[in-house]
Amino acid sequence: MNKQISLFTTAVFLFAIALASASNDEAPLRHDLNEQVLMLQIGPKDLGIKLETTLYKPNGSGPFPLVVINHGKNAGDTSLQERTRYPLMAQEFLKRGYLVALPMRRGFSKSGGQYRLEECTGVQYTRDQADDVTKVIELLRARSDVDASRILVMGQSLGGFVALAQAERTVP
Single-letter residue type at 59: N
Convert the pLDDT of each residue in 10-26 to its tens digit.
Answer: 444 444 444 443 344 56
**Cβ-contact 89, 72 below 8 angstroms:** no
The per-residue pLDDT for 131 is 86
Crossing angle for the helix pair 122-141 and 158-167, to the nearest 10 degrees = 70
pLDDT > 60? residue 89: yes
Taking all residues of the chain, what is their mean pLDDT, rounded to a whole number? 81
Q: What is the largest CA-CA distance in the chain?
A: 74
Domains with residue ranges and CATH for the chain: 29-167 (3.40.50.1820)
Amino acid found at 102: L
Amino acid at 5: I
Task: Enter the pTM of the model.
Answer: 0.78
145 in Cβ contact with 99 (< 8 Å): yes
Q: Are 104 and 113 in contact (CB under 8 A)?
A: no
